[in-house]
């Protein structure tokens, strides 16, 4: 059995910058060329990446008035993601805006259509201002363009997954870490948050992938983690087991972490008892949930604010899990802590 996916090695934010003028396009294209070359993407793929980034910057300057940003991520595969997220007015009619020739600013109207033709995958979420929604609700557009290097599998095997792991103020070290292991019947993942942040927090959660493959029983996994973390600051954690045959999710959580199960328009929020692996904890009882078809499961560290509801992002949770992870991570992430999310779609 291969070692689990390790977010510290396969989920990397390479570039994050505001889009306030045309110079943003030059910067992101230069970064994309260097990253794509280092990861072994073909000349054609790198050219397409540059064209996509140019369209994204152009769209944000036209429609978001300098209130947007571009990010470049590596994800398991390897996959290179270009994310354009803005805080503009949103798109009132997305289907119309995706048609070539349509423009609300009297230009050629080829932006979204070009992005869809050039990228391997494109996923879009937009939310326009509405008098029906009250309070501070995000409006804007998130466009995710994905480029795959080859035919490598995704992190979740038969499931569809999305990962978000970002260090405090984009420091080098991230104490939040995710390990994902496809199993014969589904997916097991371990979501860790090392206490504090910086190098010591990252060291605490490093080199723990073997814990998922050395033991079948969740209790044994947690005991092993506890022993290995004794000499560190310690960590809080969620151990999740998804069985696609029984359509059951079992969650073992310790400390200040959150999980969410979204089915249709309803969301179940799950919290866990106090404790710190490596210091002191009580063996948790599993929270077992029967899942409906196309349910979405999210685990999150406390670097993600809890003040969100499904209704704040109508339609988002039917879209690709990676887009969900990017939208929640960027909009609901705390700037005072490491941030991480794992989003799993049940087929």
Rounded Cα–Cα distance for residues 28 and 247 (Å): 42
Where in the chain are the domains?
10-148, 160-345
CA 191 to chain centre: 13
Rounded Cα–Cα distance for residues 275 and 269 (Å): 19
What size, in residues, is the chain?
Answer: 347
The predicted-structure confidence for 229-285, as pLDDT tens digits, reads as follows 999 999 999 999 999 999 999 999 999 999 999 998 899 999 999 999 999 999 999
Residue ranges of the chain whose pLDDT lies below 70: 1, 99-110, 131-136, 150-158
pLDDT the model gives residue 150: 66
**3-class SS of residue 212:** helix
pLDDT the model gives residue 109: 40
pLDDT the model gives residue 268: 97
CATH fold of 10-148: Heat Shock Protein 90 (3.30.565)
Residue 103, classified by CB atoms within 10 Å of its CB into exposed (0-12), middle (13-18) or buried (19+), is: middle
pLDDT the model gives residue 79: 96
Side-chain-side CA neighbours of residue 34 (13 Å): 9
pLDDT the model gives residue 248: 97
pLDDT the model gives residue 3: 82
Residue 67, classified by CB atoms within 10 Å of its CB into exposed (0-12), middle (13-18) or buried (19+), is: middle
CA angle 32, 178, 267 (to 5 degrees): 100
Q: What is the CATH number of domain 160-345?
A: 3.60.40.10
pLDDT the model gives residue 147: 97
Rounded Cα–Cα distance for residues 326 and 240 (Å): 21
């Amino acid at each position: 059995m291969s070692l689990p996916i390790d977010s510290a090695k396969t989920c990397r934010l390479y570039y994050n910058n505001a889009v306030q003028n045309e110079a943003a396009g030059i910067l992101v294209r230069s970064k994309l060329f260097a990253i794509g070359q280092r990861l072994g993407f073909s000349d054609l793929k790198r050219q397409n990446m540059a064209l996509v980034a140019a369209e994204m910057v152009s769209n944000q300057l036209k429609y978001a008035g300098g209130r947007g940003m571009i990010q470049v991520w590596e994800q398991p595969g390897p996959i290179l993601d270009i994310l354009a997220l803005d805080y503009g007015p949103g798109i009132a009619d997305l289907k119309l805006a995706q048609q070539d020739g349509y423009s609300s600013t009297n230009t050629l109207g080829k932006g979204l259509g070009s992005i869809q033709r050039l990228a391997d995958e494109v996923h879009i979420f937009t939310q326009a201002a509405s008098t029906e929604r009250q309070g501070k609700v995000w409006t804007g557009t998130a466009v995710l363009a994905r480029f795959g290097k080859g035919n490598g599998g995704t992190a979740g095997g038969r499931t569809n997954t999305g990962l978000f792991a970002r260090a405090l103020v984009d420091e080098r070290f991230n104490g939040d870490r995710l390990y994902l292991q496809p199993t014969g019947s589904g997916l097991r993942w371990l979501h860790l948050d090392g206490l504090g942040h910086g190098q010591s927090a990252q060291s605490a959660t490093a080199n723990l992938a073997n814990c998922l493959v050395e033991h079948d029983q969740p209790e044994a996994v947690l005991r092993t983690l506890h022993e290995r973390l004794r000499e560190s600051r310690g960590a809080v954690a969620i151990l999740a087991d998804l069985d696609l045959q029984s359509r059951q999710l079992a969650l073992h959580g310790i400390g200040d972490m959150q999980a969410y199960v979204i089915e249709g328009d309803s969301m179940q929020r799950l919290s866990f008892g106090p404790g710190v692996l490596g210091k002191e904890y009580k063996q948790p009882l599993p929270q077992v949930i029967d899942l409906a078809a196309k349910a979405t499961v999210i685990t999150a560290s406390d670097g993600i604010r809890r003040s969100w509801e499904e209704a704040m992002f109508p339609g988002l949770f039917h879209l690709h899990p990676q887009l969900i992870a990017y939208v929640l991570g960027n909009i609901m992430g705390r700037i005072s802590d490491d941030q991480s999310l794992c989003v799993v779609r049940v087929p």
